[in-house]
Amino acid sequence: MISLKDHEDSPEKTLQEKNHHPQEENNHSIEHEHREHPEQGHSKHGEHKENKRTEHEGHTEHLKQDHTKHEEHVEHEHKEHLEHDEHPEHNHHDHHQAMMADFKKRFIISLIITVPVFFLSEMVQELLGLHFLSFQGDIYILFLLSSFVFFYGGYPFFTGMVGELKVRQPGMMTLVAVAITTAYIYSAGVTFGLMGMTFYLELVTLIDIMLLGHWIEMRSVMGASRALQELATLLPKKAHRIGGEGKVEDVPLEHLQVDDLVLVKPGEKVPADGIIKEGQSYINESLLTGESKPILRSAGEGVIGGSINGESSIKIMVEKIGEDSFISQVVSLVEEAQESKSHTQDLANRAAFWLTIVALSGGLITLLVWLGMLGQDLSFALERAVTVMVTTCPHALGLAIPLVVAVSTAISAKNGVLIRDRQSFENMKNIHAVIFDKTGTLTEGKFGVTDVISFKMDDFSEEEILKYAASVEKESEHPVAQGILKSAQETYPIKDFHSHPGEGVQALVGDHEVKVVSPAYIETNKLEITSPELVDIRKQPKTVVYVVIDGEAAGAIALADVIRPESKNTILKLQRQGIQCMMLTGDNEDVARWVAEELGLDEYFYRVLPHEKALKVREVQEKGYKVAMVGDGVNDAPALTQADVGISIGAGTDVAMESADVVLVKSNPADMVTILGLTKATYSKMWQNLLWATGYNAFAIPLAAGLLYSWGILLSPAMGAVLMSLSTVIVAFNAQLLRINKI
């Protein structure tokens, strides 16, 4: 870690000695509790994974206690399907898609059946004056319709209750299951002779609301990581393998073997990790290593599978394939980071746990008090107990969180922010540090012109110097040439273009002989240059080329990875909120220091390899910081999943986006400030809704139990239903108020 305050005497720490993993197994998500890892055979990680799996099995019970109750229900209902799928990482996404569709289907069908139940209910008929809808035997129709909703719509809650009770953590599922079962059994008893009042309408509407809440929640938070699948797409499907007689044949990637000779044409992806045996070319490794500009690779040097070849053909000897390859190692790192990521327990589930205790104990106490101590008959005592049970399970609590999530998700989308993981998004309010990737995040990830200097302003303006250089460079494929060409507004026609490897390029532009050359050419030919500006630029980590016109040095052009104009303001705003701003990069120290000083960063890391990025994030976390990581490349994926909140730049790779919890669609780091404002407002609304939903219970439960019976005040089941509906409306309205909050 390099601090700008003391970077001269604080060299970068090596992290190989810290390649251990803190004991975070008790926070694993259910997604990974039952996953099988296709990379089990990794020599580098196999032993560690086996140890982790052993510890995992030894803590199964404790693990489950930390999972959200909804996930427990999902796992319980579909466990068998998961165990038999050959591709668990793909199955997890399909599994949640199926579960979301299942909740939607059950909700719609149950809602349709609720319509006749609504109009056949005695309470509705009395309130709306619809007595003509009643007929002899209608109570049995009500029973049949409600029975269907109870068994069909209530099924997910029964299976969820089983999952919760297995780990001795009753929560929302148990609360709903107990309430609807009590209401159903009591109502069925009244239908067939027991004195009392039916709860069929309360029963079906409660099931409808809870199904809707779970559907909204799943729809808002679904987006399971497909990073492992996306990584595979970085490699080409076929490779040009060179046979014994020099014959080139296209073969599927899986047919490649170690020591195969492969031809990589200009612009193609390198099919496997290997060594260049013939040729040289600029290789773009930015997605894999974070290096901002293409690197010249020659015979004898290594190349990474998935990197992009430049303007020349090269022949490489395959060195690593399959699980030993660079990309496979990144796959392993992404998996490990996903597994070690902690998840906060849903606030609604915590509230539901205590409400379950209150409901069960309150209902039992109500029954015993009225039946035993106060001498009421069984019918009255049962009605009071059931009223308590139904009232304790508020519709509002089921929607308190999902509605706020749905609204905040819509707001964030309009602001160019996609929320992929709700819990991590909520954690944004607690972050102490933001670690930015450099290339493509704080910078544009493009090799562009930063400075243009004219040595002869009387003859050539800076604009003309750039225009002359771009005119000559438009015939070249060199990265410097492409950077100059993109920065020029227009070019002149040229003729007699020549390229001189190691020196530069030249051509005739009108009547002038124009050369764009390297510093070595200037030194060799002893061309005179006097420019104070150039002295300062040479101290910066920039590439400088010179423009020679008619044999005289006329100007210079400096190029670098261009810093995004909005980056500095973003850093400043975050620091004003007390958040430490740091940077990770695969570039060298000079480049890292220059960017850090330009932006006013607190700390930075340089020459960080992909496996070190996740470790660097962990190192910051071990200091007690809650960390948000912002990145865009494949090399950022493990770090994004290791961070408490992973944020991907939208213009980045699919891998980075699928590994992230939040995606900045507009590729604007300034949206970090928007996220912070939104997450704080969202969390505030969640608490308001939870306080209202639970506060309603604190008021309604004593009335439902008959505490004020001696004063003539008794909460009827019908009034309990009205209060529940009113509570739901208030929660829904409060969630919508989030739209008018200033983010």
Q: Give residue 582's pLDDT.
A: 95
Determine which of 70-84, 527-541, 578-592 has the lowest per-residue pLDDT on average.
70-84
Spatial distance between the Cα atoms of 372 and 477, rounded to a whole number of angstroms: 92
Q: Is 661 a residue of the active site?
A: no
| pLDDT-derived band at 650, boundaries 50, 70, 90 | low
Q: Is the pLDDT of residue 337 over 50?
A: no
For residues 325-344, give the mean pLDDT. Answer: 53
pLDDT in tens, 234-270: 677 888 999 877 888 898 888 888 989 999 998 888 8
What DSSP string runs through 691-726?
HHHHHHHHHHHHHHHTTTGGGT----HHHHHHHHHH
Q: Is 57 helix (H, G, I), strand (E, B) or coil?
A: helix
Mean pLDDT of the residues in the chain: 75
The DSSP line for 226-263 is -HHHHHHTTS-SEEEEE-TTS-EEEEEGGG--TT-EEE
pLDDT surpassing 50 at residue 653: yes
- How is residue 311 annotated by DSSP? S
The residues spanned by each domain of the chain are 2-67, 88-224+343-408+681-740, 234-328, 445-562
613: nearest Cα among 651, 573, 591, 641: 641
Highest mean pLDDT among 67-71, 212-216, 704-708: 704-708
Lowest-pLDDT choice from 351-365, 393-407, 623-637, 658-672: 393-407
Helices 395-414 & 717-736 angle (0-180, nearest 10): 10
Name which of 264, 259, 257, 260 is nearest 240 in CA terms.
Answer: 264
pLDDT band at 158, cuts 50/70/90?
very high
Supply the pLDDT for residue 555. Answer: 94
**Which tokens go with 422?**
């709700």
**Above 50 in pLDDT, residue 174?**
yes
Residue 1 binned pLDDT confidence (cut-offs 50, 70, 90):
very low
Confidence label for 440 from pLDDT (cuts 50, 70 and 90):
confident
> What pLDDT, in 10s, does the model give residues 683-739?
888 888 878 877 777 777 788 788 887 787 777 655 665 666 677 778 878 888 887
Q: Residue 134 — pLDDT band, cuts 50, 70, 90?
A: confident
Can you give the pLDDT at residue 596?
A: 92
How far is the C-alpha of 295 from the C-alpha of 516, rounded, in Å? 20
Instruction: Tell me: pLDDT of 217 over 70.
Output: no
Average of per-residue pLDDT across 342-352: 53
More confident residue, 439 or 116: 116
568-601 b/e (C-beta count within 10 Å ≥ 16 → b) = bebbeebeeeebbbbbbbbbebebbbbbbeebeb
Selected residue with higher pLDDT from 46 and 389? 389
Q: What angle do CA 381, 384, 389 make, to 5 degrees?
A: 125
Catalytic residue among 208, 260, 421, 437: 437
Instruction: Determine contact, residues 266/565, Cβ cutoff 8 Å.
Output: no
pLDDT tens for each residue of 509-557: 999 999 999 888 888 888 888 788 888 887 787 888 999 999 999 999 9
- Using the predicted structure, report yes or no on whether residue 39 has a pLDDT greater than 50: no
Q: Between 3.30.70.360, 3.40.630.20, 3.40.1110.10, 3.40.190.10, what CATH number should domain 445-562 receive?
A: 3.40.1110.10
CA 178/CA 175 separation, integer angstroms: 5
- Residue 12 predicted with pLDDT over 70: no
- Band (96; pLDDT cuts 50, 70, 90): low
pLDDT at position 25 is: 34
Greater confidence (227 vs 702) lies with: 702
Q: Is the pLDDT of residue 91 over 60?
A: no
Token output for 636: 């950022």
Taking residues 189-212, what's their average pLDDT?
82
* CA atoms of 526 and 553, how far apart (whole Å): 10
8 Å CB contact between 440 and 446: no
234-328 topology per CATH: 2.70.150
